[in-house]
Structure 1
Amino acid sequence: MVTLSARTDHDHVALAEIELCGELMIAASAAIGERLSADRIDEVLDVKVTATAERTTVPRQADHRG
């Protein structure tokens, strides 16, 4: 028998993150080129970037194509 518990705030956050990842995957699969631009990612995630907002960069792993 499986006991289901009430959903928590963590569940709602996790579901929102899954939905956003799905939106990014759809946009990436439809994109022309290798990567989505930062502007396109912001558009897909519905992020409003103001002129005073600073973008942070995430270091990328080295490309290990061999």
Structure 2
Amino acid sequence: MHDQFDVTLEDVDLLGEVELTTNLIIAASEAEEMLSPDEIDRILGVRPEVPPARREA
């Protein structure tokens, strides 16, 4: 008999968010001081957006 509640659920986006959050929590717990916005961006893999005027130069 099939159990209707026995389902495999995989949400790739959610798994990615959980991994990012986990990495941030670990880094914050290991830091002696508050993480700077630049450190948080580095941990999350965020690249600063370059304004269009600078891209053309």
Q: Give the shorter-chain TM-score range.
A: 0.5 to 0.7
- Structure 2 regions of 5+ residues with no counterpart? 52-57
Under a length normalisation based on structure 2, what TM-score does the superposition of the two structures give? 0.68
Say which structure, 1 or 2, has more relative contact order (CA 8 Å, 6+ apart).
2
Superposed displacement of residue 45, structure 1: 0.7
Higher percent of residues as helix: 2
Under a length normalisation based on structure 1, what TM-score does the superposition of the two structures give? 0.60
**Structure (1 or 2) with the larger CA radius of gyration:** 2
Q: 1:25 to 1:4 in 2, by over 3 A?
A: same
Poorly superposed stretches of 4+, deviation over 3 Å: none
Q: Say what the alpha-carbon RMSD is for the aligned residues.
A: 1.8
* Aligned match of 1:28: 28
